[in-house]
């Protein structure tokens, strides 16, 4: 059961009943808003989950915090698999484990998108949110505040007070806003030139056991491309290959399942031996698109605002897309709860979140280079060792990059700015050395004190 809510605060219409839409609906309903959600797809609780996007997500502290506020954290964690760190599979057949944090208090969680969506929809419904499926937004009349939806029973029109776009990177609400004011709301998308394809590792010999170490995110880094595998609670792994769209090797080059199998046997042998249906899945699963969506304005006075992927879609390489969207939900609910002027609340939300969105978008791009090309590099490993030591010696000023982004609620922009400063320190300290024993710790202390301000709050 949800907590009792405050007096009615008016109606809000959310477009999109995915992860962000469902969570935001629950948060707003608990604050006393009358919330209605329209979703173009079917109900994942009663229909087979509609794919096309990654079915595995990495839940980190930012997202976990949002789930705690919604009261959904315990139920979600029951569906998750803990990932303590990266298991790096090298070309020579060896593998090594790189822990994410200092211990099991600093981990991330692999969760199935469909399971998470169903849980959040139930919480939203229990909070009193009205949810309508197979309701696709067609047009918006911002002057009369009416929307037109396509439903199984035909077109439907209804009025709105405020619209919130939680409908993903292809947001119909964002398109409607751009149609109304293209100068303000037309987004630009920078595509990566790489795509992704999903495969699956079943349980080992159908015994019910995991085929690989379950409490790790597995990575096969290969320079300009890589393969990863995330565990599922049903003892399978979702395998994702990230590969250039053109060139050699590329998705354009690997057309058949047999060609893909030969490629995997050569490049990712320790994964290939476990992917039983590789040939079939290769030929039937689509190649996903990777891009970063930039939008300078998210809000149209009190009539509409965008969040999550609709406002700032990013590449998935820092595992923060969902976590950033959940932070958006918490921030927007906070601003709407703090003042009755929705236009002011929407502006304040944009001012708070847009700089942080830009920061995590850049960090996600940077992390792709790290994951595919650096995790087995000696200099990278030396700097990660030094990161940990400097954090232990100077906890009031220095935190590892991954800790700031993944295990803290520090604003993304601050984490990014600190990361740039810390990387400069690491570069200087590791120049012309090949062991942590050669570090000049007095010089390190001076650089940390000079370049890194004290943390105002280093807790989660």
Q: What is the pLDDT of residues 304-337, one digit of tens each?
A: 999 999 999 999 999 999 999 999 999 999 999 9
| Cβ-proximal residues to 144 (8 Å cutoff; 6+ apart), any chain | 159
153 token code pair: 């029973």
150 token code pair: 């396509």
CB atoms within 10 A of CB 98: 18
State the Cα angle at 298 between 297 and 299, rounded to 5°. Answer: 105
For residue 108, the cross-strand partners are: 83
Of 46, 61, 15, which is closest to residue 118 (Cα–Cα)?
46
Is there a contact between 280 and 141 (Cβ–Cβ < 8 Å)?
Answer: no
Q: Output the furthest CA–CA distance in the chain (Å, rounded).
A: 73
| Cβ-proximal residues to 431 (8 Å cutoff; 6+ apart), any chain | none
Residue with tokens 């004290």: 454
Q: What is the pLDDT of residues 363-410, one digit of tens each?
A: 999 988 777 766 668 888 899 999 999 999 999 999 999 999 999 999
Is there a contact between 285 and 197 (Cβ–Cβ < 8 Å)?
Answer: yes
Give the DSSP per-residue string, 136-204.
Answer: EEEEEETTTTEEEEEETTEEEEEE-S-EEE-S-TT-HHHHHHHHH-HHHH--EEEEEEEEEEEEEEPSB
Percent helix, strand and coil across the chain, each to the nearest 5: 40, 25, 35
Give the DSSP per-residue string, 348-384.
Answer: HHHHHHHHHHHHHHHHHHHHHHHHHHTTT-HHHHHHH
Sequence-separated contacts (24+) of 264-269 with Cβ below 8 Å:
264/227, 267/91, 267/220, 267/222, 267/227, 268/89, 268/220, 268/222, 268/227, 269/93
pLDDT at 21 over 50: yes
Is there a contact between 93 and 42 (Cβ–Cβ < 8 Å)?
Answer: no
Give the Cα separation of 242 and 200 in Å (integer). 14
Give the Cα separation of 280 and 3 in Å (integer). 48
Give the Cα separation of 168 and 306 in Å (integer). 9
Whether cis (ω within 30° of 0) applies to the bond prior to 13 is: no
Is there a contact between 412 and 357 (Cβ–Cβ < 8 Å)?
Answer: yes
Give the Cα separation of 417 and 401 in Å (integer). 10
Q: What is the pLDDT of residues 84-107, one digit of tens each?
A: 999 999 999 999 999 998 899 999
Q: What is the pLDDT of residues 216-257, one digit of tens each?
A: 999 999 989 999 999 998 899 999 999 999 999 999 999 999
pLDDT at 4 over 70: no
Q: Residue 53: what pLDDT?
A: 46
Residues 281, 284, 285, 286, CA torsion sign: positive
Sheet of 146-151, strand order: 136-141, 146-151, 154-159
Which residue segments constitute the domains of the chain, with CATH numbers given? 11-80+110-189+292-366 (3.50.50.60), 190-290 (3.30.9.30), 377-451 (no CATH)
Q: What is the pLDDT of residues 265-298, one digit of tens each?
A: 999 999 999 999 999 999 999 999 999 999 999 9
Q: Residue 64: what pLDDT?
A: 97
pLDDT at 110 over 90: yes
Of 368, 357, 238, 363, which is closest to residue 309 (Cα–Cα)?
357
**320 phi/psi in degrees, rounded to 5:** -115, 0
**Mean pLDDT (whole number) for 428-446:** 94
Give the Cα separation of 162 and 75 in Å (integer). 31
Indicate the pTM of the whole model. Answer: 0.93
């Amino acid at each position: 059961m949800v907590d009792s809510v405050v007096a009615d605060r008016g109606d809000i219409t959310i477009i999109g009943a995915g992860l962000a839409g469902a969570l935001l609906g629950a948060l707003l309903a608990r604050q006393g808003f009358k919330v209605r959600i329209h979703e173009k797809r079917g109900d994942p609780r009663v229909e087979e989950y509609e794919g096309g996007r990654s079915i595995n997500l990495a839940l980190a502290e930012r997202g976990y915090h949002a789930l705690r506020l919604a009261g959904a954290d315990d139920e979600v964690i029951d569906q998750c698999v803990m990932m303590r760190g990266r298991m790096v599979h090298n070309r020579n057949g060896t593998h090594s484990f790189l822990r994410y944090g200092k211990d099991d208090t600093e981990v991330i969680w692999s969760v199935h998108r469909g399971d998470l969506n169903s849980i959040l929809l139930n919480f939203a419904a229990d909070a009193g949110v009205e949810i309508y499926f197979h309701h696709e937004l067609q047009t918006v009349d911002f002057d009369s505040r009416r929307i037109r939806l396509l439903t199984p029973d035909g077109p439907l029109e209804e009025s709105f007070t405020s619209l919130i776009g939680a409908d993903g990177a292809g947001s119909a609400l964002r398109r409607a806003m751009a149609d109304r004011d293209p100068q303000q709301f037309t987004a630009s998308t920078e595509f990566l030139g790489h795509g992704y394809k999903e495969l699956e590792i079943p349980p080992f010999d159908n015994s019910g056991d995991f085929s690989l170490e379950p409490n790790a995110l597995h990575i096969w880094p290969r320079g300009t491309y890589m393969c990863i595998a995330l565990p599922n609670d049903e003892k399978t792994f979702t395998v994702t290959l990230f590969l250039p769209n053109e060139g050699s090797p590329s998705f354009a080059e690997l057309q058949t399942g047999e060609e893909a199998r030969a490629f995997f046997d050569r490049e990712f042998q320790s994964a290939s031996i476990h992917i039983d249906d590789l040939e079939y899945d290769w030929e039937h699963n689509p190649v996903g698109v990777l891009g970063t969506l930039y939008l300078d304005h998210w809000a149209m006075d009190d009539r509409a605002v965008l969040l999550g992927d609709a406002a700032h879609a990013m590449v998935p390489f820092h595992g923060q897309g969902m976590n950033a969207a959940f932070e958006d939900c918490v921030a927007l609910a906070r601003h709407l709860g703090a003042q009755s002027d929705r236009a002011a609340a929407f502006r304040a939300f944009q001012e708070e979140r847009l700089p942080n969105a830009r920061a995590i978008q850049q960090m996600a791009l940077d992390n792709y280079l790290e994951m595919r090309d650096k995790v087995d590099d000696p200099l990278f490993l030396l700097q990660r060792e030094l990161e940990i030591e400097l954090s232990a010696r100077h906890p009031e000023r220095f935190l590892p990059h991954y800790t700031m982004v993944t295990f803290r609620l520090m604003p993304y922009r601050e984490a990014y700015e600190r990361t740039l400063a810390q990387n400069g320190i690491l570069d200087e300290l590791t120049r012309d050395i090949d062991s942590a024993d050669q570090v000049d710790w007095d010089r390190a202390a001076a650089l940390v004190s000079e370049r890194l301000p004290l943390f105002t709050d280093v807790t989660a």
